């Protein structure tokens, strides 16, 4: 919480938000799809809604959040300190946390209705997907949590959950791991087929155009399949089938 550290945190948070905007833009989260920009340059959608990202927000600890109003209103990202270590660690310096939170804006704007036991879990899982595919790493939040396995119950490359593991009592973050683990399986299929992560992100973001609001796991799968060409359909099917 020194002045210099706060300046570095603010600069890093600003940079990561802009990186996330630009990378998701290339995959289809653009003005017409309700992305976050002050000026939409006549390309559709409503403007004046750049992300209001708050470093060291102070409203909580060991977490972060992202609220997404309708297109044309500014979303709010609240970033917190993580207190499990001494000295404390700052989520503003953890790209996993920033990418994850921005991912909530992606799904709320492109799909909508990402709340409740099932859709809320999918939203958490898809936010982890943004982090793990941007960083090409199967753990989330290692820096903030000061743990090489991150903040989830397991690293995604060896995650034990299937769709049968879903239980409302576990909460949306834990059930969200089912979806993120599924997409990690799909990513392994894409790699085996010689496809880069950018192609998978094209298919995932593009698939949101075919996904109904408040989706189920199956509807998320079907949205991706509606986007992918026949040459990649089997990769998606195998990844999802492995998780039930």
**φ/ψ (deg, to 5) at 4:** -65, -40
> Is 31 a known active-site residue?
no
Tell me the two tokens of residue 93: 């310096």
Residue 81 main-chain phi, psi, to 5 deg: -80, 155
Catalytic residue selected from 31, 101, 124, 177: 101
For residues 74 and 79, give the distance between their C-alpha atoms in angstroms, rounded to a whole number. Answer: 16
CB 144 within 8 A of CB 135: no
Pairing mode, if any, of strands 52-54 and 89-90?
Answer: unpaired
Tally of CB atoms within 10 A around 192: 10
Distance CA 144, CA 62 (A): 8
10 Å Cβ neighbour count for 24?
24
C-alpha distances (whole Å) from 76 to each of 23, 35, 53 are: 19, 13, 6
Token output for 237: 């099917």
Q: What is the DSSP letter of 68?
A: -
> Which has the closest alpha carbon to 243: 213, 218, 206?
218
Q: Which neighbouring-strand residues pair with 89?
A: 82
Give the residue numbers marked as catalytic. 101
């Amino acid at each position: 919480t020194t002045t210099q550290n706060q300046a570095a945190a603010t600069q890093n948070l600003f940079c990561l938000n802009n990186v996330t905007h630009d990378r998701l833009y290339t995959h289809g989260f653009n003005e017409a799809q309700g992305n976050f920009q002050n000026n939409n340059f006549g390309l559709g959608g409503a403007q004046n809604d750049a992300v209001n990202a708050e470093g060291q927000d102070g409203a909580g600890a060991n977490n972060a959040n992202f609220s997404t109003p309708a297109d044309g209103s500014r979303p709010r990202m609240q970033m917190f300190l993580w207190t499990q270590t001494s000295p404390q660690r700052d989520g503003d310096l953890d790209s996993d946390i920033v990418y994850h939170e921005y991912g909530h804006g992606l799904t709320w704007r492109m799909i909508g209705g990402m709340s409740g036991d099932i859709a809320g879990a999918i939203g958490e899982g898809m936010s982890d997907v943004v982090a793990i595919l941007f960083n090409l790493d199967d753990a989330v939040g290692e820096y903030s949590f000061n743990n090489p396995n991150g903040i989830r119950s397991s690293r995604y490359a060896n995650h034990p959950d299937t769709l049968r593991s879903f239980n409302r009592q576990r909460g949306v973050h834990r059930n969200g791991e089912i979806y993120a683990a599924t997409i990690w399986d799909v990513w392994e299929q894409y790699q085996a087929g010689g496809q880069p992560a950018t192609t998978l992100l094209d298919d995932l973001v593009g698939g949101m155009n075919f996904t109904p609001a408040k989706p189920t796991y199956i509807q998320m799968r079907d949205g991706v399949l509606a986007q992918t060409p026949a040459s990649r359909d089997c990769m998606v099917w195998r990844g999802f089938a492995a998780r039930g």
